[in-house]
C-alpha cells in the first residue's frame, strides 16, 4: 500500500468531466498515506431554477415542465408532479385503477429503457475494461445488439402510451389525455415476451461472468415500500434502519444539510447520515414483492455473485438493475393482458388552494415533489428532491470506503476504479440542480465511511 | 471550408456532441436511435461525446452538435472555443435554439430566483439570462424540438455525409396533423392549439393524443401569432393564459417572445 521509498504518499486525482453519466460532474480526490483525505463529487450542472419559475404557472402545466428537468427520467418527474398535484386538488381517490395500471406501465417503460441504457451502454464498459460501449461493441456486438433491442422496447412502451420517449405528452394531472386502446397495447406483447426471455438470460449472464469489486458498506437503504407490490408509484417510504413515513412526511425523516464551505445540500437521514436510494435499496427492501419471473432468478444471481440478499455493495447495483428490468418487463406483460380502458382517461378537476407532496421511484431512486397552489390552481410554492441529489453524500462515503483497496493502483487505474464506483449509482446529474459547484473541504475523513 | 483534421485518416467526419444548460434529452435522442446506432457510429467518428464515452479526440471537428442554452459565465466563454473547433455547428433542440424553459428567468429577477432555490445564493454563478447559442456565435443549422426528433439528427448527419442540405420541414404542425388525419383541435374541439404557429417535426403527437399542441418545436417560418392569440381570446382564454402558453419551451425566441410581451402587457 506504500511506495518503495516508504515516504508518505500524497496524490491528487482530478477528473474534470465524468464520462458516461447524465449531466456534468467532476471528481476530486486527495489521498494521503493510503487514506482518502478529500473526496469531492463536484456537480457543475448549471442552475435552471425550476422551483422558482414554476411559481405562477397553472397546475396543469406542471407535469410538462418538470419533465424537462431530465431527459432520461421525464416520466419520473411527470408522475411525481401528477401525484402531488392530485393530492393538492383533492382528487387522489378518484383515479381509476386502470389509470394507475397505465401509470405503472408507463413507468416500467422508463425503467426498462433507463436500466438497459445504464447497464449495457454506460456501466458494462467499466466491468469489461472498455472506454465506451462504442469500443465494446467491436468485441461484444451481439450483447450490445441484444441490449439495444431491450432498450428500444422500453422506449416503445413509453411512446406507444404517451407519444414519445423523451418528454412524453400524454400524462396529465388526473390521468391521461387519451387512454390507449387494448389493441394498441396488445401489439407490444410479442416483443415484450421476447425481451423478457432475453433479459432473464442476460441477467444470469451478467451475474455469472462479471467480476464485482468487493465493498461492504453499512448502508441505510431507503425506498418506497407498499404492502403488496414492488415499489414504483405508490407507498410509504421505509428505511432498512427502521423509519417508515408517509410520502408527505418525508422531510420529517430526511434533511438537506449544508456542508461547510460548500453550496452542496447533502441529503441526510436526520441524526444519522447518508442514505442509499435506487435499485439496490428497492431490491433489498422489497425483494419479496418482485414479480415471480424476477423472483425466480434471485437465488441463481445471488449464488453467482457470491452473496445473498441484502447486498451491501453498491457494485451489485448492476445485477439489482438487471433483476428490476426483468420485473418491469414481466409486470408490463401482466398489465397489458389485464388492461381494460378506464371509463374516463382523466378525472375532471376544479382548481382549488391546496398542498400536495408525493414520491415515486425514478430509475435512480426516490423522486419527491411538493407543491402549494392558490384558489385559481396557480403554483405558489414548489420543492423537488431528485434521486442523485439524495445519493451524493452516499457516493462520497463509498469513495472513502473503497479507497484502501485501490490506493496502490496507478493514477489511471485508480481514476477508473473511482469512476466505476460513481457509475454504480447511475448518477443523473441533470436532475441534481441543487448540487452545483460542490466544493467540500474534508480533512482526514474517517475511513469507516460513516 | 472543412479542415483536413476534421476527418479521420479513413475519411470519416469527426463529430462532437456538447452539452450546455439542458436536461440531456436531446443527446439521449442520439442514443435512442437504437436501430441505426451501430451503423451511425460506424459511419462517423464520435470524437467528443462525454455522456457516451471517455475517450476524446482533439479538434477540429467536422460537425458539432450543441445541446443546451448559455446560462453561466463559463458557458458564455466555452461556446466561442467550440465554434472555432467545429466546421459545421448545429444546435439540437429547444434550449440551444431558443433558450429553453430555463429562459423563463429572462423575465424574472434572477437574484430572487437564486434565493428561492438555494440556501447560499452567493455561491451560485449564473447569468441573468439563458440564451440560445445563436445569440453568441454563428450557427450553421438548427434542429428544433423539446426534445429534438432523433430522426432529424440522423437526417442531418446523413445529409452532411452526402454533401446535401438536410430535408427539415419549416411549415406548420397543421400540415402533419392533416397528413395524419387527426381532427383539428382548434376548430373541432375548441382547444387552444399552438399548432398553426408551430414548426412541424414531431409528427403531430399531441393532437393525436387528444390534446392541443403546446409549441415545443417553436415558431414556424413567418407565423401569425397575434391572429391565433385573438382566436384564443375569442375562445375565452385570458391574456395571462396566452402569455403562459407562448412562454414555455421556446418562449424566448421571436416572434413568440414579442407576442408574449404584448399579451403580458394586456393582462
Residue B150 in any domain: the answer is: yes
Is residue B98 within 8 angstroms of chain A, CB to CB?
A: no
Whether B208 sits inside 8 A of A163 (CB atoms) is yes
Is residue B241 within 8 angstroms of chain A, CB to CB?
A: yes
Is residue B180 within 8 angstroms of chain A, CB to CB?
A: no
Residue B116's domain spans which residues? 4-162
Mutation target for B interface from A52, A56, A57, A147: give the one with most B CBs within 10 A: A52
Whether B52 sits inside 8 A of A134 (CB atoms) is yes
Domain count, chain B: 2
CB B25 within 8 Å of CB A166: yes
Q: How far are the Cα atoms of A150, A369, B105, B261 from residue A103, in angstroms, in the given order?
A: 20, 17, 32, 37
In this structure, the answer to whether residues B113 and B158 fall within a common structural domain is yes
- Give me the pLDDT at residue A264, please: 53
Nearest CA in chain A to B31: A117
Q: Which of A276, A269, A277 is nearest to A397 (CA)?
A: A276
In this structure, the answer to whether residues B58 and B136 fall within a common structural domain is yes
Whether B54 sits inside 8 A of A20 (CB atoms) is yes
The tens digit of pLDDT for each residue in A301-325 reads: 999 999 999 999 999 999 999 999 9
**Which of A20, A135, A177 minimises the CB distance to B211?**
A177
- Give me the pLDDT at residue A444, please: 35
If you count them, how many residues does chain A have?
450
Residue A393 in any domain: the answer is: yes
Rounded to whole angstroms, the Cα distance separating A94 from A439 reads 46
Burial of A213 from C-beta contacts in 10 A (0-12 / 13-18 / 19+): middle
Q: Which of A57, A96, A52, A99 is nearest to A79 (CA)?
A: A99
- Give me the pLDDT at residue A9, please: 61
Q: Could you write out the DSSP letters of every residue in A119-141?
A: IIIIIHHHHHT-SBHHHHHHH-H
Is residue B36 within 8 angstroms of chain A, CB to CB?
A: no
Count other C-beta atoms under 10 Å from residue B38's C-beta.
Answer: 17
In this structure, the answer to whether residues B129 and B199 fall within a common structural domain is no
The tens digit of pLDDT for each residue in A86-107 reads: 999 999 999 999 999 999 999 9
**Which of B35, B117, B125 minimises the CB distance to A49?**
B117
Residue A66 in any domain: the answer is: no
pLDDT classification of A1: cutoffs 50, 70, 90: very low
List CB contacts (< 8 A) between A65 and chain B.
101, 248
**Which of A23, A52, A132 minimises the CB distance to B54?**
A132
Residue A255 in any domain: the answer is: yes
Residue B168 in any domain: the answer is: no
In this structure, the answer to whether residues B132 and B177 fall within a common structural domain is no
In this structure, the answer to whether residues B152 and B179 fall within a common structural domain is no
In this structure, the answer to whether residues B178 and B152 fall within a common structural domain is no
The CATH number of whichever domain residue B31 belongs to comes to 3.40.50.700
Nearest CA in chain B to A22: B51
- Give me the pLDDT at residue A422, please: 87
Q: Is the pLDDT of residue A417 over 90?
A: no
pLDDT classification of B114: cutoffs 50, 70, 90: confident
- For chain A, give the mean pLDDT: 88
- The residue from B138, B162, B186 where one domain ends is B162
Whether A47 sits inside 8 A of B117 (CB atoms) is yes
Residue A40 in any domain: the answer is: yes
Average pLDDT of A425-446?
44
- The residue from B117, B142, B162 where one domain ends is B162
The tens digit of pLDDT for each residue in A249-260 reads: 999 999 877 554
Residue A413's domain spans which residues? 10-47+220-274+389-424
Q: What percent of chain B has pLDDT over 70?
A: 99
Residue A338 in any domain: the answer is: no
Q: Is the pLDDT of residue A446 over 80?
A: no
pLDDT classification of B250: cutoffs 50, 70, 90: very high
More confident residue, A114 or A24: A114
Residue A286 in any domain: the answer is: no
Q: What percent of chain A has pLDDT over 90?
A: 70
Average pLDDT of A206-212?
97
More confident residue, B34 or A370: A370
Rounded to whole angstroms, the Cα distance separating B120 from A43 reads 16
Compute the nearest-CA separation of B71 from chain A (Å): 7
Domain count, chain A: 1
**Which of B29, B35, B102 minimises the CB distance to A166?**
B29
Residue A52 in any domain: the answer is: no
- The residue from B99, B128, B162 where one domain ends is B162
Nearest CA in chain A to B113: A52
Average pLDDT of A111-136?
93
- Give me the pLDDT at residue A37, please: 77
Residue A263 in any domain: the answer is: yes
Whether B114 sits inside 8 A of A49 (CB atoms) is yes
In this structure, the answer to whether residues B224 and B152 fall within a common structural domain is no
Average pLDDT of B159-165?
91
Rounded to whole angstroms, the Cα distance separating A86 from A62 reads 12
The end-to-end CA distance of chain B, in Å, is 50
Q: What is the DSSP-derived secondary structure letter of residue B12?
A: P
Provide the whole-model pTM: 0.93
In this structure, the answer to whether residues B211 and B117 fall within a common structural domain is no
In this structure, the answer to whether residues B56 and B110 fall within a common structural domain is yes
The tens digit of pLDDT for each residue in A210-228 reads: 999 999 999 999 999 999 9
- Give me the pLDDT at residue A379, please: 98
Residue B17 in any domain: the answer is: yes
- Could you report the predicted ipTM of this complex, rounded to two decimals? 0.96
More confident residue, A352 or A443: A352
**Which of B24, B108, B205 minimises the CB distance to A163?**
B205
Amino acid at each position: 500500500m506504500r511506495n518503495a521509498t516508504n515516504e508518505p504518499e500524497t496524490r491528487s486525482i482530478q477528473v474534470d468531466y465524468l464520462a458516461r453519466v447524465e449531466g456534468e460532474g467532476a471528481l476530486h480526490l486527495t489521498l494521503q498515506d493510503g487514506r482518502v483525505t478529500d473526496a469531492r463529487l463536484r456537480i457543475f450542472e448549471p442552475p435552471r431554477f425550476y422551483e422558482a419559475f414554476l411559481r405562477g404557472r397553472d397546475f396543469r402545466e406542471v407535469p410538462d415542465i418538470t419533465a424537462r428537468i431530465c431527459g432520461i427520467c421525464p416520466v419520473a418527474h411527470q408522475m411525481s408532479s401528477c401525484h402531488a398535484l392530485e393530492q393538492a386538488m383533492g382528487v387522489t381517490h378518484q383515479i381509476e385503477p386502470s389509470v394507475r395500471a397505465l401509470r405503472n406501465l408507463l413507468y416500467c417503460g422508463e425503467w426498462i429503457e433507463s436500466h438497459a441504457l445504464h447497464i449495457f451502454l454506460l456501466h458494462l464498459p467499466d466491468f469489461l475494461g472498455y472506454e465506451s460501449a462504442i469500443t465494446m461493441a467491436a468485441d461484444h456486438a451481439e450483447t450490445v445488439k441484444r441490449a439495444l433491442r431491450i432498450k428500444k422496447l422500453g422506449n416503445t412502451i413509453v411512446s406507444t402510451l404517451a407519444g414519445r420517449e423523451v418528454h412524453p405528452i400524454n400524462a396529465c394531472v388526473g390521468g391521461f389525455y387519451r387512454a390507449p386502446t387494448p389493441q394498441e397495447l396488445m401489439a407490444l406483447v410479442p416483443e415484450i415476451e421476447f425481451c423478457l426471455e432475453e433479459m432473464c438470460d442476460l441477467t444470469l449472464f451478467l451475474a455469472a461472468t462479471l467480476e464485482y469489486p468487493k465493498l461492504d458498506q453499512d448502508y441505510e437503504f431507503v425506498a418506497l415500500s407498499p404492502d403488496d407490490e414492488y415499489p414504483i408509484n405508490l407507498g410509504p417510504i421505509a428505511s432498512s434502519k427502521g423509519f417508515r413515513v408517509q410520502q408527505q412526511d418525508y422531510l420529517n425523516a430526511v434533511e438537506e444539510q449544508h456542508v461547510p464551505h460548500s453550496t452542496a445540500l447533502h441529503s441526510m437521514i436526520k441524526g444519522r447520515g447518508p442514505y442509499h436510494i435506487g435499485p439496490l435499496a428497492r431490491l433489498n427492501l422489497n425483494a419479496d414483492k418482485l414479480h415471480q419471473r424476477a423472483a425466480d432468478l434471485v437465488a441463481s444471481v445471488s449464488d453467482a455473485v457470491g452473496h445473498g440478499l441484502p447486498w451491501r455493495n453498491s457494485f451489485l447495483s448492476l445485477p439489482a438493475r438487471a433483476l428490476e428490468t426483468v420485473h418491469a418487463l414481466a409486470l408490463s406483460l401482466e398489465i397489458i393482458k389485464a388492461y381494460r380502458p378506464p371509463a374516463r382517461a382523466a378525472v375532471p378537476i376544479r382548481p382549488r388552494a391546496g398542498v400536495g407532496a408525493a414520491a415515486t421511484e425514478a430509475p435512480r431512486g426516490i423522486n419527491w415533489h411538493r407543491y402549494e397552489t392558490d384558489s385559481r390552481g396557480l403554483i405558489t410554492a414548489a420543492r423537488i428532491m431528485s434521486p442523485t441529489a439524495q445519493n451524493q453524500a452516499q457516493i462520497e462515503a463509498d469513495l472513502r470506503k473503497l479507497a484502501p483497496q485501490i490506493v496502490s493502483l496507478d493514477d489511471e487505474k485508480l481514476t477508473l476504479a473511482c469512476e466505476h464506483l460513481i457509475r454504480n449509482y447511475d448518477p443523473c446529474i441533470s436532475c441534481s440542480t441543487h448540487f452545483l459547484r460542490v466544493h467540500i473541504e474534508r480533512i482526514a475523513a474517517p475511513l469507516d465511511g460513516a | 471550408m472543412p479542415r483536413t483534421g476534421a476527418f479521420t485518416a479513413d475519411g470519416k467526419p469527426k463529430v462532437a456532441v456538447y452539452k450546455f444548460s439542458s436536461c440531456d434529452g436531446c443527446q439521449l435522442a442520439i442514443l435512442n436511435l437504437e436501430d441505426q446506432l451501430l451503423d451511425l457510429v460506424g459511419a462517423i467518428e464520435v470524437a467528443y461525446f462525454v455522456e457516451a464515452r471517455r475517450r476524446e479526440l482533439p479538434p477540429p471537428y467536422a460537425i458539432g452538435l450543441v445541446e443546451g442554452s448559455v446560462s453561466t459565465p463559463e458557458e458564455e466563454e466555452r461556446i466561442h472555443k467550440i465554434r472555432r473547433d467545429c466546421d459545421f455547428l448545429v444546435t439540437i433542440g429547444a434550449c440551444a435554439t431558443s433558450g429553453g424553459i430555463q429562459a423563463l428567468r429572462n423575465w424574472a429577477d434572477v437574484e430572487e430566483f437564486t434565493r428561492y432555490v438555494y440556501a447560499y445564493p452567493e455561491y451560485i454563478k449564473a447569468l441573468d439570462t439563458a440564451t440560445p447559442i445563436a445569440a453568441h456565435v454563428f450557427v450553421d443549422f438548427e434542429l428544433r424540438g423539446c426534445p429534438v426528433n432523433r430522426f432529424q439528427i440522423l437526417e442531418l448527419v446523413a445529409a452532411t455525409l452526402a454533401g446535401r442540405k438536410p430535408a427539415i420541414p419549416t411549415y406548420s404542425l397543421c400540415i402533419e396533423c392533416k397528413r395524419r388525419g387527426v381532427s383539428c383541435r382548434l376548430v373541432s374541439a375548441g382547444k387552444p392549439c399552438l399548432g398553426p404557429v408551430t414548426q412541424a417535426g414531431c409528427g403531430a403527437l399531441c393532437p393525436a393524443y387528444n390534446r392541443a399542441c403546446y409549441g415545443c418545436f417553436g415558431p414556424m417560418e413567418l407565423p401569425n401569432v397575434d391572429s391565433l392569440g385573438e382566436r384564443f381570446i375569442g375562445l375565452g382564454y385570458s391574456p395571462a393564459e396566452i402569455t403562459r402558453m407562448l412562454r414555455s419551451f421556446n418562449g424566448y425566441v421571436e416572434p413568440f417572445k414579442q407576442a408574449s410581451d404584448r399579451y403580458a402587457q394586456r393582462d
